[in-house]
């Protein structure tokens, strides 16, 4: 959901090409050379970008779930909004010292995407946590 929101909103709000966010993600591995390469949406760009995005999402999602695990649902929602905003601040105001090209997409669209990421982790975690994987076996004791 996070990547979809950014792919849809960034071209509208930042007037960047649709593939710009994919280039930014691929630049984690390949360096800033992907930002100046000729525009192409081929597998050489998309596969590493989606792999990096999936790895970060799984890692941060796991951390979010562990942190909000014991909270009641509505508190977990509020806490996840704060975590999403904190993740945005870390990514776009701390990590930009190492990856300065990420500063180009600071703003409302990326804040919204990070807030939605936080809420989505709660909904998935709390929702999946309520699903029983094995049916209850009735007790033989009477």
| Predicted confidence (pLDDT) per residue in 54-81, tens digit | 898 899 989 988 888 888 889 999 999 9
* Backbone angles phi and psi of 135, in degrees to 5: -70, 150
The alpha helices in 69-93, defined as continuous H runs, are: 73-89
Residue 135 domain-assigned?
Answer: no
Q: Is the pLDDT of residue 44 over 60?
A: yes
User: Which residue range forms the structural domain that includes residue 80?
Assistant: 2-35+43-129
**What's the number of domains the chain is made of?**
1
125 found inside a domain: yes
Is 11 among the domain residues? Answer: yes
Rounded-to-integer distance, Cα 16 and Cα 19, Å: 8
Compute the radius of gyration of the chain from its Cα atoms.
19
> Considering the domain boundaries, does residue 72 fall inside one?
yes
As a whole number of angstroms, the distance between CA 71 and CA 56 comes to 23
71 within some domain: yes
**Does some domain include residue 18?**
yes
Whether 136 maps to a domain, the answer reads no
Residue whose token pair is 């904190």: 86
Sorting pLDDT into bands at 50, 70 and 90, what band is 114? Answer: very high
Residue 139 lies in a domain: no
Helix (H) / strand (E) containing 68? helix 43-68
Q: How many residues does the chain have?
A: 142
Which range is least confidently modeled, 24-28, 31-35, 38-42, 85-89?
Answer: 38-42
Percent of residues in the chain assigned helix, strand, coil, to nearest 5: 75, 0, 25
């Amino acid at each position: 959901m996070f990547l979809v929101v950014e792919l849809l909103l960034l071209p509208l709000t930042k007037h960047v090409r649709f593939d710009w966010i994919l280039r930014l993600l691929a630049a984690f591995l390949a360096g800033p050379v992907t930002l100046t390469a000729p525009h192409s949406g081929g597998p050489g760009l998309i596969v590493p970008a989606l792999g990096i995005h999936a790895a970060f999402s799984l890692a941060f999602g796991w951390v979010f779930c562990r942190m909000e695990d014991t909270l009641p649902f509505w508190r977990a929602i509020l806490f996840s909004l704060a975590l999403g905003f904190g993740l945005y601040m870390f990514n776009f105001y701390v990590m930009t010292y190492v990856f300065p090209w990420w500063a180009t997409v600071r703003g409302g669209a990326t804040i919204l995407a990070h807030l939605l990421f936080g809420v989505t982790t709660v909904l998935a975690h709390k929702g999946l946590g309520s699903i029983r994987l094995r049916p209850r076996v009735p007790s033989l004791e009477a």
